[in-house]
């Protein structure tokens, strides 16, 4: 307030001196010159001191300034006693009734600092933004202009996550037009121009409380302070119309939850190391951590060792990741240590021990009245399945081992989840009770866990569904009653499916897999769309269990066909489409 009063008195004096014939313009001044020798400066307006000890990364509020005539803005050391101490004078002519932002930028002696990568002059200058705004034109939004004010930084693109690229190819000293966005919390990723694979830095910008406001966001400081007189390091700042300058926090960590879902009895309990430091000791099967902060934008190593290990050198497996700052992840340890000693996956997917990663994970629901959850098919010996919320909708469509769904949002209520073979909704092979009624506003990660056939998998834990909450609590979803059938009895069911779902190249559609609950007669035929039989795939007695009938022996052209299956227990037709 004291500074504002001083400015107003000084300007009033200037107006009186310059007579009433002068017009006025609105002006905000920002100090963004990172030269350590200019950490504080005195600003003179027409040789009269306007700002005393004006600090780096500070701003004035918008004030009235003379327009229509040339005014001289002088910069002097903070110890100045008068206009004779001015070290740089910049003439400016403001347009009558205009609104302007003047940003002091650059360095006093460019030869003593790192050169600009794009060959731009880094000499001390005043960058003037005309058509500036003190408030948003759209009162429902927040509007801001962006200045590239870091002398040693190359041209960059700026991305707002969820909104795309908002600044394209900005070089040093470039200042954008105003960008209008809804008030919210934004994550801003800075990347080299035209190279979205490299992340320079990430910042969090909370604009949720600035509805109707305007700001100028300015890149400030040095990417390499050591090469620039140990000046202030790079950062993003926002100057509001009232002169408040807010630092946008640099994001250097990601959020991470770890879940142990490797059903191998040899990994019933493990130690987890992060960059060779023990993160989790004796981490049990079907346990989860709460979300924690983890290093981001750098290579990190995750090591999994047996229980009671002494160091990461005893690791059973090592994995390397590069987490994106301000992103949220779930990492799931899954699979078996030696796949040759366990049942193969029905879809022939690798079941080797691995860490599955779910990016864009959620710690809470987007809607406080709902529950958001993602689903992992984590049972190595289970086939592809659908999951149907009874009486509601299909939640999971054809998930095979290792697949992780997007988040599904449902009202906070109690659900019966029916697990069916992929594409066979009438065959419920297992049902589970999911009581989400008390989880409104929360998020969960549901994972299929264990073995369908423990006896074929070293007597590991049996199949079940579990839900990991954001706080690390793991809940077993109880089996619903009455149970139509259990998943580990699937091989005694009668069903059939088209391998490859009838899409893709002819070579990728291998044939028909079917299973008989009881031995008996089977008829399996292929028809064209006119109803003419193309081939008799099966016609005779078959034992109970799974069978396979190949289609590769038939010279099928591109088009639609119909498969008809008939046994004592099931009669069904299914359309398929081949592309050659």
- The answer on 124 and 188 residing in a single domain is no
- The answer on 118 and 28 residing in a single domain is yes
Can you tell me whether residue 38 is helix, strand or coil? helix
CATH number at residue 52: 2.60.40
pLDDT of residue 17: 42
Rounded Cα gap, residues 466 and 443, in angstroms: 13
Count CB atoms within 10 A of the CB of residue 321.
19
> Residue 523's closest CA among 565, 576, 551, 572?
565
Last residue of a domain, one of 250, 280, 313: 250
- The answer on 123 and 12 residing in a single domain is yes
Sheet of strand 328-334: strand arrangement: 292-295, 253-260, 328-334, 354-358
Rounded Cα gap, residues 377 and 349, in angstroms: 12
Q: Between vectors from CA 131 to CA 126 and to CA 135, what angle results, nearest 5°?
A: 110
- The answer on 149 and 171 residing in a single domain is yes
- The answer on 157 and 95 residing in a single domain is no
The tokens for 463 are: 């199949």
The answer to the question of residue 350 being in a domain is: no
Residue listed under structure tokens 């793991």: 474
CATH number at residue 524: 2.60.40.2550
The answer to the question of residue 330 being in a domain is: no
The answer to the question of residue 449 being in a domain is: no
Task: DSSP letter for 422, please.
Answer: T
pLDDT of residue 448: 94
Q: Which residues contact 239 (CB under 8 A, 6 or more apart)?
A: 28, 30, 59, 101, 215, 216, 218, 245
pLDDT of residue 552: 65
pLDDT of residue 18: 46
Last residue of a domain, one of 250, 271, 294: 250
Q: Where are the beta strands (DSSP E) in 323-462?
A: 328-334, 354-358, 370-376, 385-389, 393-399, 408-411, 414-421, 430-435, 443-449
Report the number of distinct structural domains present in the chain. Answer: 3
The domain containing residue 185 runs over which residues? 142-250
- The answer on 188 and 156 residing in a single domain is yes
pLDDT tens digit sequence for 455-468: 889 999 988 899 99
- The answer on 125 and 9 residing in a single domain is yes
Residue 447 near residue 334, CB atoms below 8 Å:
no
- The answer on 153 and 122 residing in a single domain is no
The answer to the question of residue 180 being in a domain is: yes
Rounded Cα gap, residues 301 and 309, in angstroms: 17
Rounded Cα gap, residues 16 and 67, in angstroms: 14
b vs e for 109-145, b when ≥16 Cβ sit within 10 Å of the residue's Cβ? ebeebbebeeebebebbbbbbeebbeebeeeebbbbb
- The answer on 125 and 31 residing in a single domain is yes
Q: Which residues contact 122 (CB under 8 A, 6 or more apart)?
A: 106, 107, 110, 113, 115, 116, 151, 152, 172
Residue listed under structure tokens 């423990």: 454
The answer to the question of residue 42 being in a domain is: yes
Q: Where are the alpha helices (DSSP H) in 229-322?
A: none
- The answer on 81 and 34 residing in a single domain is yes
Please tell me the number of Cα atoms within 13 Å of 353 on its side-chain side.
Answer: 22
The answer to the question of residue 90 being in a domain is: yes
- The answer on 153 and 119 residing in a single domain is no
Containing 126, the helix (H) or strand (E) segment is strand 125-129
Show the low-confidence residues of the chain (pLDDT under 70): 1-22, 480-510, 552-554, 577-580
Count CB atoms within 10 A of the CB of residue 188.
22
- The answer on 189 and 112 residing in a single domain is no
Q: What are the angstrom distances between the C-alpha of 355 and each of 311, 358, 446, 579?
A: 19, 10, 16, 35
Last residue of a domain, one of 129, 153, 178: 129
Residue 371 near residue 407, CB atoms below 8 Å:
no
Parallel/antiparallel/unpaired status of strands 48-55 and 40-45: antiparallel
The answer to the question of residue 27 being in a domain is: yes
The answer to the question of residue 223 being in a domain is: yes
Residue listed under structure tokens 């590069």: 322
pLDDT of residue 578: 62
Residue 63 pairs in a beta bridge with 27
């Amino acid at each position: 307030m004291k500074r504002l009063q001083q400015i107003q008195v000084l300007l009033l004096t200037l107006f009186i001196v310059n007579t009433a014939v002068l017009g006025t313009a609105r002006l905000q001044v920002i100090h963004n010159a990172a030269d350590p020798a200019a950490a504080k400066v005195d600003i003179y307006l027409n040789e009269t001191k306007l700002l005393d000890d004006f600090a780096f990364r500070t701003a004035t509020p918008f004030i009235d300034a003379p327009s229509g005539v040339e005014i001289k803005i002088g910069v002097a050391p903070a110890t100045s006693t008068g206009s004779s101490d001015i070290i740089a004078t910049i003439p400016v002519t403001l347009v009558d009734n205009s609104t302007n932002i003047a940003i002091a930028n650059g360095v006093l002696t460019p030869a003593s600092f790192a050169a600009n990568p794009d060959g731009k002059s880094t000499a001390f200058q005043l960058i003037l933004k005309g058509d500036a705004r003190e408030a948003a034109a759209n009162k429902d939004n927040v509007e801001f202009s962006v200045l590239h004010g870091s002398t040693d930084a190359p041209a960059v693109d700026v991305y707002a996550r969820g909104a795309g690229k908002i600044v394209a190819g900005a070089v040093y000293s470039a200042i954008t037009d105003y960008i209008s966005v809804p008030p919210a919390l934004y994550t801003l990723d800075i990347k080299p121009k035209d190279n979205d694979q490299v992340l320079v830095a990430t910042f969090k910008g909370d604009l949720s409380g600035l509805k109707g406001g305007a700001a100028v966001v300015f890149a400030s400081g040095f990417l390499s302070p050591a090469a620039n007189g140990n000046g202030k390091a790079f950062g993003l700042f926002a100057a509001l119309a009232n002169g408040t300058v807010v630092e946008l926090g640099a994001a250097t960590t990601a959020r991470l939850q770890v879940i142990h879902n490797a059903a191998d009895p040899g990994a019933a309990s493990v130690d987890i190391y992060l960059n060779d430091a023990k993160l989790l000791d004796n981490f049990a099967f079907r346990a989860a951590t709460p979300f924690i902060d983890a290093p981001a934008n750098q290579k990190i190593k995750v090591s999994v060792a047996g229980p009671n290990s002494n160091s990461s050198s005893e690791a059973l497996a090592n994995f390397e990741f590069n987490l994106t700052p301000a992103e949220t992840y779930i990492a799931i340890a899954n699979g078996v240590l030696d796949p040759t000693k366990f049942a193969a996956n029905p879809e022939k997917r690798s079941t080797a021990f691995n860490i599955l990663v779910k990016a864009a994970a959620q710690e809470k629901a987007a809607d406080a009245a709902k529950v958001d959850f993602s689903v992992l098919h984590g049972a190595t010996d289970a086939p592809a399945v659908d999951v149907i919320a009874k009486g509601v909708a299909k939640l999971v469509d054809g998930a095979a081992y290792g697949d992780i769904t997007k988040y599904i949002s449902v009202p906070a209520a109690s659900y019966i989840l029916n697990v069916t073979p992929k594409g066979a909704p009438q065959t419920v092979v297992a049902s589970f009770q999911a009581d989400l009624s008390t989880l409104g506003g929360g998020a969960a990660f549901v994972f299929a866990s264990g073995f369908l056939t423990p006896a074929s998998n070293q007597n590991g834990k049996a199949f079940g569904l579990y839900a990991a909450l954001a706080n690390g609590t793991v809940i077993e979803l109880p089996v619903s009653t009455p149970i139509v059938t259990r998943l580990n009895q699937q091989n005694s069911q009668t069903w059939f499916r088209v391998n490859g779902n009838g899409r893709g190249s002819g070579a990728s559609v291998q044939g028909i897999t079917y299973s008989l609950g009881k031995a008996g007669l089977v008829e399996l035929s292929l028809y064209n769309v006119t109803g003419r039989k193309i081939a008799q795939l099966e016609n005779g007695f078959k034992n109970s269990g799974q069978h396979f009938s190949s289609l590769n022996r038939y010279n099928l052209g591109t088009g639609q066909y119909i498969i008809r299956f008939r046994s004592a227990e099931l009669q069904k037709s299914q359309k398929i489409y081949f592309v050659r």
